[in-house]
Structure 1
């Protein structure tokens, strides 16, 4: 595509950001949202999953040519802000963006804009929650898919790319359960939108289950591309829109080792 096209891949993670809207819990005041999100025990649990699941999957990407924005509230207590800065230091292209509490979509638009270089003609912005993981070739596969399809879809038209095969990891006192999932619609984990750099659109504009109603969309059904955790702190309602079946740990172990930077035993011990 030559000089007409310079794509910047940017990931966005909302790290306990107290947005006005965007949560399952409704009718909370700004103070109530912050009190819930910044409760010490909750943040300790979030960091545990981030440091052992999400961050290792980013550090292990075979294609490291991407930026990663961590959106936090300006009100995030300093000890947690410092801890976040410390743990993401090894991640090339990582940046913390701290904003006041804003309506959800306004906040993510600003966060993406902070990380977009002037030279970029297009941005491929993907989303990831702090308690989930991507397969190690996710960014590389995303780049190859966009390069192949954007000339067909059109340089001025948003293109959504993602995946709908992966694992749900449910935390249970008696032992974690693993489920193999093939969604009918693309999952939120790693879901991306490629759009012109000056566009106001991004992957958070629509609910991830409905993107095919609004955008040209390609999703991969062959690669186990994500691990989504299910636990008491989920900020959204975790459910599969398609096929879900219990996965045997021993059978799943080789696939997990092949596609992710951890073993089945490590997932069971989280």
Structure 2
């Protein structure tokens, strides 16, 4: 079954952001600001991409959506970071309504729309477990009745870590949180044109069955200077330095390695 991931990398959409801007030019200036872009690349390099490289099931496609106005130096840097990843396809789009363009790209990526597929979103500052694709496929196989009776079914791996990364390494806390973007997948039946981008992730359970699994940590959500969802006043999440056991877990489960984090963030 085809598996398709979608990652929005500083794409200047109309809508799709909690941080509001009066014009698209203001949004582009905000997204491409030097400090912000440097942090996005640091997180992309140390968090978002390594876990994709080390998936135990390599049979997936990752669409990375960028704006057609992304400066060449950033486009070249992204190309270099993903050059060794055959699953990655970088797509350049002009500013358009967020959900419209993402839905189009997901449906266009389906090699055979008459066959079912799996879809997931992947934020550029989060990690998924290296067995996410494998477990997503297995969970769908484990639910034949739901698959038979529904056009769409969500699979939510709801245990993970909130983490902060920097020159000090990794600080984190384990938590259970339902319907985060990270490690939330969706089965889509053949001849169904709905996509995971038709739904706000935290409301997806209103529209389809959700299979929730909390047996193991399956994601790392980073809190950083430019989280769109944290630009407004929100309750802080206390984090602590990783134990030696957690450092090993982060490396094995998420391909997030503390020494590499320290190195990349120190190069700024």
Give the TM bin, normalised by the shorter chain.
0.7 to 0.9
Equivalent in the alignment of 1:3: none
Unaligned runs of 5+ in 1: 1-6
The verdict on how the C-alpha distance between 1:78 and 1:151 changes in structure 2, with shifts beyond 3 A counting, is: farther
2:115 maps to which of 106, 115, 121: 121
Cα distance in 1 for residues equivalent to 2:149 and 2:231: 34
1:13-33 CA deviation, whole Å, 9 max, x = no partner? 001111111111124311111
Conservation of the 8 A alpha-carbon contact between 2:65 and 2:90: yes
Equivalent in the alignment of 1:222: 215
**Pairing of 1:210-249 with structure 2 (within 5 A):** 210-237=203-230, 246=239, 249=242
1:27-57 CA deviation, whole Å, 9 max, x = no partner? 4311111111112221121111101111001
Equivalent in the alignment of 2:16: 22
Task: Give, in angstroms, the shift of residue 266 of structure 1.
Answer: 4.5
Higher relative contact order at CA 8 Å, sep ≥6: structure 1 or structure 2?
A: 2
Equivalent in the alignment of 1:194: 187
TM-score normalised by the chain length of structure 1: 0.87
The verdict on how the C-alpha distance between 1:76 and 1:142 changes in structure 2, with shifts beyond 3 A counting, is: same
TM-score normalised by the chain length of structure 2: 0.87
**Pairing of 1:135-174 with structure 2 (within 5 A):** 135-154=129-148, 156-171=150-165
Write out the 4+ residue segments of structure 1 that deviate beyond 6 Å after TM superposition: 172-175
Equivalent in the alignment of 1:73: 67
The verdict on how the C-alpha distance between 1:21 and 1:197 changes in structure 2, with shifts beyond 3 A counting, is: farther
1:155-183 CA deviation, whole Å, 9 max, x = no partner? 65101112110111124787753111111
Matched, 1:255 2:249: yes
Task: Give, in angstroms, the shift of residue 196 of structure 1.
Answer: 2.6
Conservation of the 8 A alpha-carbon contact between 2:2 and 2:110: yes
> What is the RMSD computed on CA atoms of the aligned residues?
2.5
1:104 maps to which of 95, 98, 102: 98
Cα distance in 2 for residues equivalent to 1:43 and 1:93: 23
Unaligned runs of 5+ in 2: none
